[in-house]
A and B are shown apart, each in its own frame.
Chain A
Amino acid sequence: MKFWEIGKRNLKEIYRNPVLLGFLLGMPLAFMLVFCAAAGGGQASPIAMSIVDEDHSQTSSAFIQNLGGIEAIELNEPIYSEKSQAQEDLEDGRISLYLFIPSGFEEATQAQQAINLELAYKEADPMIGLQLKPIIEAVGSEFLGVVPPLNVELKGTESKIKNMAVNFYFPGIAIFGLMILVSTAAEIIAGDREKGFLARMFTTPARPWDFILGYSLPFIPVLIISTLIYLGVGMALGLTVVGNLGHAFLIFFLIGLCSIGIGMIVGSLVKSESQAGVSWLFIVPIAMISGAWFSVERMPSAIKSVAGALPFIHAIDASRAVLNGSSFSAIILDIYWIVGWAVVLFAVGIVLFRRTMVS
């Protein structure tokens, strides 16, 4: 268990270094405090939303009632019966967004078929619509799961989401925070290389995976504590966890492993601690295109493809979905994708590390 000895050494080097430890654990706290405060804490105003009901059925009315029960949404009166009227009002700026319930909604519900709702919003303010989209999807999923539709009642599940902004921002911010492990892990390896400590260790009979595991190990408690801080501060400042908190934790943990894996690769490639700073050149762009701060829906398809190939967007989407009530089976493909990336990143890290052991 040589990796264990190397890991213990690195853990001691971290927790005995108050500046580094303060950065690693204090940063998530400060980060989440600032962003949740910026997102309105627990007192955000509800978003005014109009409805176009072309179905005019009991089911559509019940669904609208459900939506009206959510604190974060304020339904505008009256309910439109024609889409063109609502579109005109939207274009004229009289309303900010509307939800279109097409005719055939009740029939589709009874037949348990997929229903496509349309959420139209002002081009100038896409965030409103994007923030509402997952909430409405969560309400819709819950609603459509109830048969027969006449039995629909306000269950209050949806109204648990007190602050949509916090629920929207939280996953992205938390995952961006965990991406900081990339640079920290890379800097620690590069620092040891620069000081010659790694060269000294390379003269011992330790294998490349001993080093990769040994340098990753100390970040596991950091990752767990950081995630707990994110979740704790987020919930204290208005994050509503409708789904399974454990599933959300798992997603954050796995994406944290990916960040550490990238850090191992960068640390294997760079020669000095200052060079490890190069990791920021891709951390910020990746966070941006992965939807950490805003949705990727309106990005060019090429960028969306790049983001989709990476693990971060999957983690952000999956954690948003889980926090808003999605089941584990709904995010399983995202989980597989993230786990796959973690395995590949660590394997590449070991291969690169092997190359650096003899120059």
Chain B
Amino acid sequence: MNAVQTFKLTKRFDGLVAVNGVDLEINKGELFSLLGPNGAGKTTTIRMLCCLLKPTRGTASVLGYDVVKTPFAVKKLIGVSPQDTILSERLNCWENLALIGKVHGLSYDEVARRSKELLETMGLMERSKDQVRKFSGGMKRRLSIAMALVSDPQVLFLDEPTLGLDPQARRTIWEYIAALKGKKTILLTTHYMEEADFLSDRIGIIDEGRVVALGTSQELKTNLFEMRSMVVTAENITAEVIADLQSKYSRLEMAKGRLKIYHKDLDFKGIVDYLHSRGVTVHSAALEQPTLEDVFIQITGKKLRD
């Protein structure tokens, strides 16, 4: 039995199709990321799986329980950290954790034990008695994840867990999530490709409500991204040179003396020689591994942050 399974899951809002026939199978203990730009349908998918939205069509189940027919059973098994950091602002960490834990039916002792563990793990123990409205964005996000974990759920939904955080805070959250790998089934949504790349066992790329690619990070890069790329930093690149390169290669990106060339059979030496022959001063040149962003552009024709 899969931890999470959807079949032709669809949600329409007044004619707008937010999620369009999504089929997912997430294994127990797997960390699965839904990667896509804003408005791709990631949060709507999670909201249906958390029993907050009724699907227009299709089915979804969590550990075998249908999200529409048996929502109460589903809610007992899941923990959710929503996209916006939603906490009870005038409560402290202990009180926020106790609220969720006790509503899940945990005893006072269980809540206290779990809260202590989580506050220590998340590095919040020092400020645990302060009202959370005084916390930074990163601290709130860590508490939000702790709240999702306090009931010891079997399936964890993390909706954009690092949205709006600075790189350091983001890295800290990644470490906490990485530590949960294998212990919980996690469905994470993100529009940060590095996040999906760093954390996920498997990734589903979602765009305009459809899952357009599915696999491990490596599979996506090798199977779907046929082109190779090289980056050249150089001076004296003329418009004529750029036009010439554009006519010869599949894709070309140029910004502040940095030239990125994409092509299926990239001739590294040939390109460097050509640039030298046209009077371009080449400072460096290197072949690059494709990124998930490259995969996304290849599949959808647009950038993740568009």
Contacts and interface: CB of A to CB of B under 8 A. Distances in A.
Q: Is B truly associated with A?
A: yes
Interface of A: 2, 5-6, 8-9, 12-13, 16-17, 195-197, 199-207, 210, 357-359
B114 to A, nearest CB: 15
A319 B52 CA distance: 45
B72 A205 contact: yes
Contacts of B76: 205
B58 to A, nearest CB: 16
Contacts of B88: 9, 12-13, 197
27 contacts: A2-B103, A5-B98, A5-B99, A5-B102, A8-B99, A9-B88, A9-B95, A12-B91, A17-B90, A196-B86, A197-B88, A200-B86, A201-B103, A202-B52, A203-B50, A203-B52, A203-B80, A204-B75, A204-B100, A204-B103, A205-B76, A207-B72, A210-B103, A358-B51, A358-B52, A358-B53, A358-B54
A17 B84 CA distance: 22
Interface in B49-66: 50-54
Contacts of A358: 51-54, 71
A268 to B, nearest CB: 16
B128 interface: no
B82 interface: yes
Given A9-B91, A359-B53, A205 B86 contact: no
B54 A203 contact: no
B121 to A, nearest CB: 21
A41 to B, nearest CB: 39
Nearest to B79: A203
B99 A9 contact: yes
B78 interface: yes
B257 interface: no
B216 interface: no
B105 interface: yes
Contact of B84 (A196, A201, A207): A196
Contacts of B87: 197
A212 to B, nearest CB: 14
A205 B75 CA distance: 5
Given A2-B102, A359-B53, A16 B90 contact: yes
Given A13-B91, A203-B51, A358-B53, 4 more contacts: A2-B103, A13-B88, A197-B86, A357-B52
A13 B51 CA distance: 26
B54 A205 contact: no
Contacts of B100: 204
Nearest to B77: A205
B27 interface: no
Interface centre among A5, A13, A201 (most CB of B within 10 A): A5
Interface string B123-139: 00000000100000000
B260 interface: no
A204 B90 contact: no
Contacts of A195: 84, 86
Contacts of B99: 5-6, 8-9
**7 tightest CB-CB pairs across the interface, nearest first?**
A16-B90, A203-B80, A205-B75, A196-B86, A5-B102, A204-B103, A203-B50
Contacts of A200: 80, 82, 86
Contacts of B89: 13
B104 A205 contact: yes
Contacts of B98: 5
A210 B90 CA distance: 21
